């Protein structure tokens, strides 16, 4: 008898064995090993309360339970991480980063940085950002879709970094903030995301999505670090932005608008963008429109302090930076007092990556927020803006096990978030300065 015939005759016996096995009462299956993270304190970011003697139970990449240590029943195979007197929080979220850029304002550096090099820069900055306790980011603008590759490399475990939503090249008008304006006409240099007119911007939205963009970033006004444009001047028209937003939303992507000037903020909000970034010249008309549409405000405020003390900008940017720095904080404080929704974004790359949590100090010191309110901008609010409230933003069962710890109480002193001592992302520990296990 051939081997094939013997194998075929054995099939009924195999089927009978399988049937008998299916009818036998199943035995309890061993649970995957759990990690118990214990600390003296845990912040409930929704209520703004500090809970004592808490244990977080992690299985795989998810939180499965959180509560008083006395109520957590250890199981065989559990691994315990005891962080002593530390305070646990959800990993922070930064909704305005540029991981593939570094803090070098030399125009020649910009012109000579290739897409490949920017990806390598991104790999370094992603690790620095994660180590600082920022476990989730939106990357809003990168040439050559370098941020798409960076996101995918992190997801595949090739390098360390935060969860990422990425935009790919930011959309902008010819000669605008998103264009390459450093070279003369003979070079015919055009920014990757430049598109003018409704058909062209629709095509660019669809192309960015085709090549992996999770969201769309647009230039509603001029910028500070770009050559030859005015931060107060609107760039995309209302009609162009409406076309962008309609296509992006229909295809399941949110839209972030770089906007300094009041007219650009107004049009972007009216068009239905999900967030206004920077908002330097925001006025009462803008505030009313943003509140009507539920538009988030992303202030990116700490960079003003850092650049004032450390920045060496090109000549074409120096006066623009002085102008925006003179009004941005006062206008942001007014907008926040009037009740616009706020999510933390930093514009990290304008200042060194890893200093992201300094943004929250500005919200408390200069904008009048309480520490719990400031913390919510970098947790539940930011998660809501990203559409990831079911994944990140709080320490709750079912969410990714993105956990950080600090020494001290961030509900009283927001600056302790600048000194993270423990970082877990998706159940994997990337930093533990306390070394209690």
pLDDT tens for the chain, 437 residues long, are 344 444 333 434 434 334 333 344 444 444 468 999 999 999 999 999 999 999 999 999 999 999 999 999 889 999 999 999 999 999 999 999 999 999 998 999 989 999 999 999 999 999 999 999 999 999 999 999 999 999 999 999 999 999 999 999 999 999 999 999 888 999 988 989 999 999 999 999 999 999 999 999 999 999 999 999 999 999 999 999 999 999 999 999 999 999 999 999 999 999 999 999 999 999 999 999 999 999 999 999 999 999 999 988 999 999 999 999 999 999 999 999 999 999 999 999 999 999 999 999 999 999 999 999 999 999 999 999 999 999 999 999 999 999 999 999 999 999 999 999 999 999 999 999 987 55
Count of H-run helices and E-run strands, the chain: 14, 16
Query: Is the distance from CB of 100 to CB of 388 less than 8 angstroms?
Result: no
3-state secondary structure 149-186: HHHHHHHCCCCCCCEEEECCCCEECCCCCCCCCCCCHH
- Exactly one of 217, 254, 320, 425 is catalytic; name it: 217
- Exactly one of 101, 286, 347, 373 is catalytic; name it: 347
Query: Is the distance from CB of 293 to CB of 270 less than 8 angstroms?
Result: yes
What sign does the dihedral 48-419-327-221 (CA atoms) show?
A: negative
DSSP alpha helix (H) spans, 251-387: 262-271, 284-293, 302-310, 315-337, 358-365, 371-377, 380-386
Distance separating alpha carbons of residues 418 and 50, to the nearest angstrom: 19
Distance separating alpha carbons of residues 272 and 282, to the nearest angstrom: 16
Distance separating alpha carbons of residues 76 and 250, to the nearest angstrom: 49
Query: Is the distance from CB of 432 to CB of 422 less than 8 angstroms?
Result: yes
Look up tokens 């500070």; give the residue: 224
Position 32 scores a pLDDT of: 62
Structure tokens at 403: 């956990």
| Cβ-based burial of 64 (10 A; exposed 0-12, middle 13-18, buried ≥19) | middle
Position 5 scores a pLDDT of: 40
Beta-bridge partners for 297: 276, 342
**How many other CB atoms are there within 10 angstroms of residue 162's CB atom?**
28
pTM of the entire predicted model: 0.91
**Boundaries of CATH 2.30.40.10 in the chain?**
34-91+395-432
Strand, coil or helix: 69? helix
Structure tokens at 370: 């309480």
Sequence-distant (6+) residues with CB within 8 A of 132 are: 353, 354, 355, 356, 357, 420
Query: Is the distance from CB of 159 to CB of 123 less than 8 angstroms?
Result: yes
Sequence-distant (6+) residues with CB within 8 A of 163 are: 135, 136, 137, 154, 391, 392, 400, 402, 425, 426
Q: Does residue 347 have an active-site annotation?
A: yes
Superfamily of domain 34-91+395-432: Urease, subunit C, domain 1 (2.30.40.10)
Q: How far is CA 29 from CA 25, 48, 74, 248, in A?
A: 12, 39, 17, 45
DSSP 215-265: EEEEESB--SSSSS--TTSB-S-HHHHHHHHHHHHHTT-EEEEEE-SHHHH
Superfamily of domain 92-386: Metal-dependent hydrolases (3.20.20.140)
Q: Does residue 384 have an active-site annotation?
A: no
Beta-bridge partners for 348: 97
Position 28 scores a pLDDT of: 41
């Amino acid at each position: 008898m051939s081997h094939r015939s013997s194998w075929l005759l054995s099939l009924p016996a195999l089927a009978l064995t399988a049937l008998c096995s299916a009818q036998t009462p199943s035995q309890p299956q061993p649970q995957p090993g759990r990690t118990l993270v214990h600390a003296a304190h845990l912040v409930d970011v929704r209520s703004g309360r500090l809970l004592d003697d808490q244990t977080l139970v992690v299985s795989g990449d998810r939180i499965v339970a959180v509560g008083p240590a006395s109520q957590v029943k250890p199981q065989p195979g559990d691994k315990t991480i005891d962080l002593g007197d530390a305070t646990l929080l959800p990993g922070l979220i930064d909704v305005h980063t540029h991981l593939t850029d570094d803090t070098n304002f030399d125009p020649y550096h910009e012109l000579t940085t290739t897409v490949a090099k920017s990806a390598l820069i991104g790999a370094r900055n992603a690790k620095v950002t994660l180590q600082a306790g920022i476990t989730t980011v939106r990357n809003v603008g990168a040439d050559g879709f370098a941020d798409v590759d960076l996101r995918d490399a992190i997801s595949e475990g090739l390098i360390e970094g935060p969860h990422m939503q990425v935009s790919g090249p930011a959309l902008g008008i010819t000669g605008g903030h998103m264009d390459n304006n450093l070279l003369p006409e003979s070079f015919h240099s055009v920014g990757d995301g430049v598109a003018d007119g409704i058909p062209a911007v629709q095509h660019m939205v669809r192309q960015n999505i085709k090549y992996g963009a999770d969201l769309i970033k647009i230039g509603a006004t001029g910028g500070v670090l770009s050559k030859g444009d005015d931060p107060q001047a609107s760039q995309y028209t209302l009609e162009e932005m409406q076309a962008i937003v309609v296509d992006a939303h229909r295809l399941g992507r949110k839209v972030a608008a770089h906007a300094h000037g009041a007219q650009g903020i107004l049009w972007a909000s009216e068009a239905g963008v999900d967030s206004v970034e920077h908002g330097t010249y925001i006025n009462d008309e803008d505030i009313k429109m943003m509140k009507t549409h539920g538009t988030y405000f992303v202030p990116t405020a700490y960079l003003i302090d850092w650049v004032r003390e450390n920045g060496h900008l090109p000549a074409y940017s120096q006066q623009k930076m002085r102008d925006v720095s003179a009004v941005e904080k006062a206008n942001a404080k007014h907008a926040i007092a009037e009740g616009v929704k706020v999510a933390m974004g930093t514009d990290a790359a304008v200042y060194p990556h890893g200093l992201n949590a300094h943004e929250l100090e500005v919200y408390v010191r200069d904008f009048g927020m309480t520490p719990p309110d400031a913390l919510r901008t970098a947790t539940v609010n930011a998660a809501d803006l990203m559409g990831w409230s079911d994944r990140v933003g709080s320490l709750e069962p079912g969410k990714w096990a993105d956990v950080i710890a600090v020494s001290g109480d961030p509900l009283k002193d927001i600056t302790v978030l600048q000194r993270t001592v423990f970082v877990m992302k998706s159940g994997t520990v990337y930093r533990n300065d306390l070394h209690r296990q």
